């Protein structure tokens, strides 16, 4: 796939969604960090249902670190792996409160040193909060990139590196959210909705599977 075809794909996605953003609900960088940690192997819907209660009680690093882990668990128990996630957000809150005065660091290394924060979570924060041109590859983006031949690779990291290198620079900041929304609602894992896909004329998967 050449650069012009990539540019056309992103142009169409951007036209459809001019202001792409996360569907996690948050009111501060810290709230987003906690929500993204909780979103691992969970849906944004389930996370939002939990954080609406959690953030009413504690929405800063100092406040969450002052809660007991048992209390945090009771507030996020509808989310998968809630025992581990409760410990992670408690410890991460302690570190942010004590080491960073409650502010989220804008360094990948510092972010990835926080409990529960891996490369994908760090990329979400760097991109969404600090507008860095990085792409967090989740299951939707991994599937979509391989399916439409935007960036084919066997691991999320390899897809990320390819996408970052091959995506036209003017779309890099929005690429993560453009792709994740398209993968979540149109180019779904089962029964991709090719008939209402805005990039179907450019998609190599569509050309093989869509029946007119």
Q: Is 120 a catalytic residue?
A: yes
In the numeric block, the tokens 């805005």 are attached to 198
The DSSP symbol for 149 reads: T
**Residue among 120, 131, 162, 174 flagged as catalytic:** 120
Report H helices in 39-105. Answer: 44-57, 61-66, 69-76, 82-99
The C-alpha atoms of residue 185 and residue 171 are separated, in whole angstroms, by: 20
The C-alpha atoms of residue 196 and residue 181 are separated, in whole angstroms, by: 14
Yes or no: say if 51 and 33 are a contact pair by the CB < 8 Å rule: no
**Residue among 138, 162, 188, 211 flagged as catalytic:** 138
The C-alpha atoms of residue 12 and residue 39 are separated, in whole angstroms, by: 28
Backbone angles phi, psi at 168, to 5 degrees: -55, 135
Active-site residue list: 120, 138
């Amino acid at each position: 796939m050449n650069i012009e075809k990539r540019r056309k794909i992103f142009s169409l996605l951007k036209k459809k969604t001019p202001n792409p953003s996360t569907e996690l609900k948050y009111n501060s960088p810290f709230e987003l960090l906690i929500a993204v940690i909780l979103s691992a192997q969970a849906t944004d819907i389930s996370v939002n249902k939990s954080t609406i209660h959690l953030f009413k009680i504690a929405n800063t690093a100092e406040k969450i670190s002052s809660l007991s882990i048992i209390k945090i668990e009771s507030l996020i128990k509808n989310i998968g792996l809630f025992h581990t996630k409760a410990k992670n957000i408690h410890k991460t809150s302690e570190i942010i409160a004590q080491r960073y005065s409650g502010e989220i660091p804008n360094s990948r290394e510092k972010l990835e040193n926080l409990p529960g924060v891996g490369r994908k979570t760090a990329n979400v924060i760097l991109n969404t909060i600090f507008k860095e041109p990085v792409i967090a590859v989740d299951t939707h983006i991994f599937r979509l990139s391989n399916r439409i031949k935007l960036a084919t690779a066997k691991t999320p990291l390899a897809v990320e590196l390819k996408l970052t290198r091959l995506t036209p620079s003017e779309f890099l900041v929005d690429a993560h959210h453009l792709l994740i929304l398209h993968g979540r609602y149109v180019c779904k894992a089962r029964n991709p909705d090719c008939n209402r896909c805005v990039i179907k004329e450019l998609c190599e998967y569509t050309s093989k599977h869509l029946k007119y």
